[in-house]
Amino acid sequence: MTVFVACHGLELDRLQIPPFEVGPGGILALDWPLFLGEPVQKVLLGALSGLNNLRGVEVFEKASVADPFSMALGKTLASQLCAMVSPSFPLLLREMVLQYGNLYEQKLEELPLTPRLMVSLFKACQQSKFIVTWLSGLDPHGENQIMSAIQKFADFDFGFLLFRFPRFGAKVISTVSLERLR
């Protein structure tokens, strides 16, 4: 099996990250403690995206980050972004993206979180077969929609690493827990 990323275990600012791999069709969730904040997460994202090296992380396919808050995407109309779908996408995925894009004639920054994340996922999938995103801030219905789309893309050999953040009141742990969703 081809692997997009292999982490051999590492420590980031008091956080022990256990070994993991993500390859084609794989979906792996990292429960990321909120106490570490965004800077530590950016170090790992930078390594996964090929922007920096991190001892213990081997990247064989640079990740594309699906960021629903990206300033670069904010002024783009959702329908325009979806219309740029790659002809190399399998027909089923192209139809799903175009159908979704036709629902929205607003700028991404004006949309609720679920459609913003969905459109940013479509954009990220056009740039790489290995996608990193997060599931925080979504209502249960939105999370189901996003996971359904991720499952469809995984069926076509895309790989996903999802950051999840503990809900309020969740026990804070010093080790990132991993859950293989597929």
Give pLDDT tens digits for 61-79. 999 998 877 756 656 665 6
pLDDT over threshold 70, residue 21: yes
pLDDT of residue 39: 73
User: Any idea where the domains of the chain sit in the sequence?
Assistant: 1-63+128-182, 66-127
**pLDDT tens-digit readout, 3-20:** 999 999 888 777 778 888
pLDDT of residue 81: 60
Q: Please tell me the pTM assigned to this model.
A: 0.80
**pLDDT tens-digit readout, 23-48:** 999 998 887 776 666 677 788 888 88
pLDDT over threshold 50, residue 173: no
Q: Are strands 64-65 and 130-134 parallel, antiparallel or unpaired?
A: parallel
Tell me whether residue 118 is exposed, middle or buried, using C-beta atoms within 10 angstroms of its C-beta: 0 to 12, 13 to 18, 19 or more.
Answer: buried
Q: What is the 3-state secondary structure (H, E, C) of the chain?
A: CCCCEEECCEEECCEEECCEEECCCCEEEEECCHHHHHHHHHHHHHHHCCCCCCCCEEECCCCEECCCCCHHHHCCEHHHHHHCCCCCCCHHHHHHHHHHHCCCCCEHHHCCHHHHHHHHHHHHHCCCCEEEEECCCCCHHHHHHHHHHHHHHHCCCCEEEEEECCCCCCCCCCECEEEECC
What is the widest separation between alpha-carbon atoms in the chain?
A: 45
**pLDDT tens-digit readout, 70-121:** 756 656 665 666 666 667 777 777 777 666 666 566 666 777 788 788 878 8
Percent of the chain with pLDDT over 90: 19
Fold of the domain spanning 1-63+128-182: Rossmann fold (3.40.50)
